Amino acid sequence: MKEQLESLRNEALEQVNSAEDLKSLQDLRVKYLGKKGPITEVLRGMGKLSKEERPVIGQLANEVREAIESAIKDKQEHLELEKIKAQLAEESIDVTLPGRPVQSANHHPLTAVIEEIEDLFIGLGFSIAEGPEVENDYYNFEALNLPKDHPARDMQDSFYITEEILLRTHTSPNQARVMEAHKGKGPVKIICPGKVYRRDTDDATHSHQFMQIEGLYVDKNVRLSDLKGILTVFAKEMFGEDRQIRLRPSYFPFTEPSVEMDISCFHCSGSGCSVCKKTGWIEILGAGMVHPHVLEMSGFDPKVYTGFAFGMGPERIAMLKYGINDIRHFYNNDVRFLKQFKRA
């Protein structure tokens, strides 16, 4: 039996060494180490041996098993390595070839304008305040001097969810919320960018949803001249250093006095053209001094504090800045349109 085990070890090691692939190696594992293999058969016949021979043959059988297992393991590692080398050689990549170019994304023109405006006002000491798009009627209208029976509400007829909840028609509710949070103590110096909704028929210059940026500055001794200075800086930064501004009297329920701001036409330098409708001026935004009632409703004493507010539409500014003739281009997601503003 001893000679049988020795012969079995030599035979198995020779066949394992000659195996050319993993499948052949697995077959040899089953052949020699399986339940029906020759080593198992030898161990089953140990009952016929004497007590002195059994431990000797048992130890030898284990040594033979271990030798075959070790040889199979080493051979398997060798074959797997060779397989990987062959696969790498067959599927090699020429790393000297230039890679495929990856198209880089760019800012939407509307986003670019909004961020430009935000950066400008942050540089002037303003902070950004955001608020909910689904708003309470009180903050959207009443806190801004627009009670329920006020006719000016007709100008902002919007999408109501309930009688008291609606999609905000402007970002002014953010101003009311921030002033209320300050509990009557200034200064308050914020801009409020965001999406707003109104029941407009979509056309080249109107949309049922659009972006808006409003600004607010409340402190002691804030004057209309301060507003004019801020708006002058804004106009020159956005449209060129040679721009001039003019303020025309207007009406907004939440400011008194109220003004519309025009800039001198950047296309014709004020001589009159189709862009400025032959007037030499282009309307940009609305503004005014915060109405005393609005200050009172937000907890500020109008005898101590004054302030100004302004509001603009980034779409209008982007259309003027980049010569876009239809507001719907901003929301159609036409890649041909967006690619034109890769450097915007």
Tell me the pLDDT tens digit for each residue of 215-260. Answer: 999 999 999 999 999 999 999 999 989 889 999 999 999 999 999 9
Task: Give me the amino acid identity at 200.
Answer: D
Domain boundaries, the chain: 2-91, 109-341
Say how many C-beta atoms besides its own lie within 10 A of residue 4's C-beta: 15
Sequence-distant (≥ 6) Cβ neighbours of residue 137 within 8 angstroms: 148, 163, 164, 165, 166
Bond from prior residue into 257 cis (ω within 30 degrees of 0): yes
CATH of domain 109-341: 3.30.930.10
Tell me the pLDDT tens digit for each residue of 47-78. Answer: 666 777 777 777 777 788 888 888 888 888 88
Sequence-distant (≥ 6) Cβ neighbours of residue 275 within 8 angstroms: 265, 267, 268, 282, 320
Sequence-distant (≥ 6) Cβ neighbours of residue 227 within 8 angstroms: 217, 287, 288, 289, 308, 310
Phi, psi of 262 (to 5 degrees): -115, 150
**Token pair 């040594």 is at which residue?**
63
- Whether residue 6 is annotated as binding a ligand: the answer is no
Q: What is the pLDDT of residue 297?
A: 94
Q: What is the pLDDT of residue 344?
A: 47
Task: Give me the amino acid identity at 268.
Answer: C
DSSP 57: H
The tokens describing 280, both together, are 């030499």
The tokens describing 125, both together, are 């000491």
Q: What is the DSSP string of 60-114?
A: HHHHHHHHHHHHHHHHHHHHHHHHHHHHHHHT---TTSPPPPPPPP---HHHHHH
CA distance 278 to 265: 10
Task: Give me the amino acid identity at 47.
Answer: G
Residues in the chain with pLDDT values less than 70: 1, 43-49, 343-344
Paired with 261 in beta bridges are 247, 285
CA distance 267 to 36: 96
How far apart, in Å, are the Cα atoms of 74 and each of 27, 70, 156? 16, 6, 81
Q: Is the dihedral of CA 181, 183, 185, 186 positive or negative?
A: positive
How far apart, in Å, are the Cα atoms of 235 and each of 11, 28, 130, 264, 312? 94, 86, 24, 9, 12
The tokens describing 192, both together, are 């409020």
